[in-house]
Structure 1
Amino acid sequence: MTFLKSIKTISELVEPHKFPFSIPILSSGLNLEFSSNVTFFVGENGSGKSTILEAIAEGCGFNHSGGNRNHSYSSSDTESNLAAALRFSWLPKVTNGFFMRAESFYNFATYIDQIAEEDSSILQGYGGKSLHHQSHGESFL
């Protein structure tokens, strides 16, 4: 089921000469329609892929740095004002989930190892062994 149907820019909230609206993909307004359960964002470094994903996470109520609705922490990254300038169309609205950033994964895997020191059964949900002892692909799945 496709939960996120579309994302559209609210033009009056766009500040064209400020980041992230200065990124070419966002400078003329964003209008994305989702018709599949899986979407791939492909492009050069700096083209706005991560910026759009962070805005979607914020639109779900998640921290742009990663986590779920209960993860409220500051990071060295600055939040962009992109999510506030987007209109998300949901059916139904996502209220549960997790925003997993690749650069956050090491800390997540370490956290699971720390929990497993007291209760090794926690690893059963992660392939039966430490995420650090699995391939990159295995550990993400």
Structure 2
Amino acid sequence: MNFEEKPYLREIELKREKIDNYDQFPFSIPAIKELDFIEFHPDVTFFVGENGAGKSTLIEAIAVAMGLNAEGGNKNTGFATEQTHSELDRYIKTVKSFKRPKDYYFLRAESFYNVATYLDQLMPPPLQGYGGQSLHHQSHGESFMATISNKLRGNGLYIMDEPEAALSPARQMAALSEIHRLVEDGSQFIIATHSPILLAYPRAKIYQFSDSGIYETAYEDTEHYEITRNFLNRHQQMMKILMDEE
């Protein structure tokens, strides 16, 4: 593969001229309100920030703008349990490579159960492409790893929202290995995460979402890294502080 073809998704821009009211959701979210454009890394781009900072809202909008189901799955996953996603995708301009990916997938932790249910209703597990076993017959973490290891075929654009939600630290490291395998096989990842393990992927772009906007940051400067490091290095002192003990 000619790696100049990547990133498949080069950047997104907010169509500010089409927004009438910045006091309405999702434009009322400070990070979204301040968004102009985001450039993506050819391999891995991370979104980080506190709960409610807008990471999932934007990652959902990117997935929908790329033709994926708001609840997850690939481009053939056609269902909706509830129409709860924002209309942000209508206000996003996508700037793509001349080369299209051969594979797409949106892995969304909060609605993955719905994807598994849809698949079981649609076809028997051996035909689903997740390793031959129903996702409902595996633990949450096992089903996530079955997706990453079996369903993602390479040369793909893969969008993930908090994939670590179901994964133990050991499984997060296994997921990192799988992500690297897929990157080496010509894939691009865009991931919203709270995991300092996943964030350690080398050369990745990390965008911090905050009340002042969205900006690029280094791994060691993320709160996820700093808080985890400080807690592990001083866990006894931290527990006394947290429990308000002398």
Instruction: Assess same fold via TM > 0.5.
Output: yes
Q: Which 4+ stretches in 1 moved above 6 angstroms? A: none
Which residue type is aligned with residue 11 of structure 2? S
Identity level (%): 47
Shift of 1:76: 4.2
Which residue type is aligned with residue 103 of structure 1? E
Please name the residue that 1:50 is paired with.
56
Please name the residue that 2:9 is paired with.
4
Please name the residue that 2:29 is paired with.
23
**Structure 1 pair 76–122 and aligned structure 2 pair: CA distance change class (3 A):** same
Measured in 1, the distance between the counterparts of 2:69 and 2:28 equals: 23
Match runs of 1:1-141 below 5 Å: 1-14=6-19, 15-70=21-76, 71=78, 73=80, 75-77=82-84, 79-91=85-97, 92-93=99-100, 97-113=104-120, 115-116=123-124, 121-122=126-127, 125-140=129-144, 141=148
Measured in 1, the distance between the counterparts of 2:81 and 2:114 equals: 15
**Structure 1 pair 84–44 and aligned structure 2 pair: CA distance change class (3 A):** same
Shift of 1:16: 1.1
Measured in 2, the distance between the counterparts of 1:39 and 1:86 equals: 18
Shift of 1:110: 3.6
Could you state the TM-score of these two structures normalised by the residue count of structure 1? 0.76
- The more displaced of 28-37 and 38-47 is 28-37
Q: Which has the higher strand share?
A: 2
Shift of 1:43: 1.2
- Spell out, residue by residue over 1:50-89, the C-alpha distance to the aligned partner (whole angstroms, 9 max, x if none): 1111111121122323344451546141x42311222110
8 Å contact 1:16–1:22 — kept in the other structure?
yes
Shift of 1:34: 0.7
8 Å contact 2:26–2:88 — kept in the other structure?
yes
8 Å contact 1:60–1:95 — kept in the other structure?
no
Shift of 1:127: 3.1
**Structure 1 pair 6–32 and aligned structure 2 pair: CA distance change class (3 A):** same
* Partner SS state of residue 41, structure 1: strand
* Partner SS state of residue 99, structure 1: strand
Shift of 1:131: 2.4
